[in-house]
Structure 1
Amino acid sequence: MNRDYFRTASPFWTGLIGFGLVLLTMATFVPDKIPSYLGKVGGLGRYMGTEKPELTWYIFLATIAIHAAESIYAYMLCRRFGLSSSATKKWTFQTFLFGVASLSLLRQYKPRGD
């Protein structure tokens, strides 16, 4: 069994999810600072942050809660798979940041007995 098993999530998904998280955070806290060069996506963020701030706040909190739950599940999977402390920390942190893009990779892992 490879106790140090870890794979980084796809750059495409980490970029897309990372962008979405940054945009959501900006829409929640500083919607007026969202750059205009983001076009319609940035416009949606500005609109949500200024016209629907309560809804934006709830979406932000739900996103954090979902990512936290996914990272707890990733931690539990790592313990069940017998992964090392270092690998468990990496999977837990990566899953908190990138959610299902990381968790789907961990779920594909098939531990083998020595």
Structure 2
Amino acid sequence: MNCRWPARHPMMCAAAMGKARGDEAYFQRSSLFWVTIIILSFGYYTWMIFWPESIPYQSLGPLGPFTQYLLKHHHTLVHAWYWLAWMIHVGESLYAIVLCKSKGITNTWTQLLWFLQTFLFGLASLYYLIAFRPKHQKQT
């Protein structure tokens, strides 16, 4: 992969160079499809939680009345699930660090990328790390 500036994004180059160097710097970016779905859904959920009065319910088709129903009749549950989802993402991102170490991904920057990507996108990121089969896995 050609990583001359500005042709490529620095993080993509680090990932590409990591593949060339070996397992210690392996990184795979999440699918754009899932990243988009997660950003839109978590964004909408955050909007529901913090600014429900600004949502144009009438303009959202069936999603508008459904959102109103949830907020009116299940307000506590909606809030609890929101924070639970974030806590699950924290757990997944910590597990990503454990997986990195167990699979021989020792590069600190790469581990940070896995942590951040998994925190933001959950299983859409963790899937690639779980599926990764290193050439020389550490013996535990």
**Gaps (5+ residues) in structure 2?**
1-21
Q: Measure, in 2, the Cα distance between the counterparts of 1:56 and 1:7.
A: 32
Q: Classify 1:93/1:43 alpha carbon distance in 2 versus 1 (closer, same or farther; 3 Å).
A: farther
Q: Measure, in 1, the Cα distance between the counterparts of 2:126 and 2:116.
A: 11
Alignment partner for residue 25 of structure 1, among 18, 23, 46?
Answer: 46
Structural mapping, 1:1-114, within 5 Å: 1-36=22-57, 37-83=59-105, 84-113=107-136
> Residue 111 of structure 1 aligns to a residue in which SS?
coil
Identity of aligned residues (%): 32
What is the TM-score of this pair, normalised by structure 2? 0.73
TM-superposition CA deviations, 1:48-78 (whole Å, max 9, x none): 2344221111111110111111111111101
The aligned amino acid for 1:86 is W
Q: Measure, in 1, the Cα distance between the counterparts of 2:83 and 2:91.
A: 12
| The structure with more radius of gyration | 2
Q: Measure, in 2, the Cα distance between the counterparts of 1:43 and 1:97.
A: 28
Instruction: Report which of the two has the higher share of helix.
Output: 1
**Gaps (5+ residues) in structure 1?**
none
Off by >3 Å, runs of 4+ in structure 1: 35-38
> Bigger shift: 55-64 or 34-43?
34-43
